[in-house]
Amino acid sequence: MSPVGPRGEAELPFFVYGTLRPGEHNHDLFLRGRTRSEEPGRMRGLALYAGPGYPYAVDEPGGAVCGEIVTARPEAYEQLLEELDELEEYVPGDARSLYERVVRDAVRADGVTVVRAWVYVAAPAVAARLRSGGKPIEDGDWRGGGDGDGGDGPAGGAG
C-alpha cells in the first residue's frame, strides 16, 4: 500500500510520456534531483496525440504509450505533485483543465511487473477534439513519432 500525503492522495509514482521524460526540457526543470528512480515503462489503454510542442495521452482501448515510471523522493513528493498539477493546468473539477490526473497501471520494461501510477491524460473536451481531428502518434512514443522537440506549449505538457 502506498503512503498517503497530506492531501489524502496516495503517494504513487508518475508515468511521464512527454516533456518530463529524461533528456527533455521539463525533466530538468521539475524532476532532476527530486526522484528516487526513473525506469522505462508502458501504459496500456491510451493513445498518444501530438500537441503544440508536447503530447496528449487519450483513453483508447488497445492503445499503448511509451514513457518512464518516475518515483519521487518522499521529501519532494507533495511539492512536486502541486507543481506538476500546475504545469499541466490541472485543477480537480475544473472543466477548463487541459489534463486530468488519474491512476492507471503502468508496466515496467520487463513486460510483466505492473505499477499503479499517476498519469496526466487529456481532459474530456480536449480528448474529443483530438479524436476527431488530432494527429495520432502511431507508435505511442513521442520521441519516435511526435514532434519530440521538447518545447513548451501553454501548459508545458509534462505528460
**For 40-87, what is each residue's pLDDT tens digit?**
999 999 999 998 889 999 999 999 999 999 999 999 999 999 999 999
Q: What is the residue type of 56?
A: Y
Residues 6+ apart with CB under 8 A from 69: 13, 14, 15, 37, 38, 39, 40, 41, 106, 108, 115, 117
Alpha-carbon distances, residue 2 vs 57, 105, 117 (angstroms): 24, 14, 10
pLDDT at 82: 95
pLDDT at 143: 86
Asked if residue 107 has pLDDT above 60, the reply is yes
Geometric angle at alpha carbon 79, from 120 and 16, rounded to 5°: 25
Q: Where are the beta strands (DSSP E) in 22-149?
A: 35-50, 55-72, 99-108, 114-122, 136-137
Geometric angle at alpha carbon 42, from 39 and 43, rounded to 5°: 125
Residue 63 CB coordination number (10 Å):
17
pLDDT band at 146 (very low <50, low <70, confident <90, very high): very low
Asked if residue 148 has pLDDT above 80, the reply is no
pLDDT at 147: 44
Q: What distance in Å separates the CA atoms of residue 32 and residue 141, rounded to the nearest whole number?
A: 21
pLDDT at 78: 94
Range list of H helices, 48-134: 77-87, 124-133
Statement: the pTM of the whole predicted model exceeds 0.75: yes
pLDDT at 1: 44
Beta-bridge partners for 121? 100
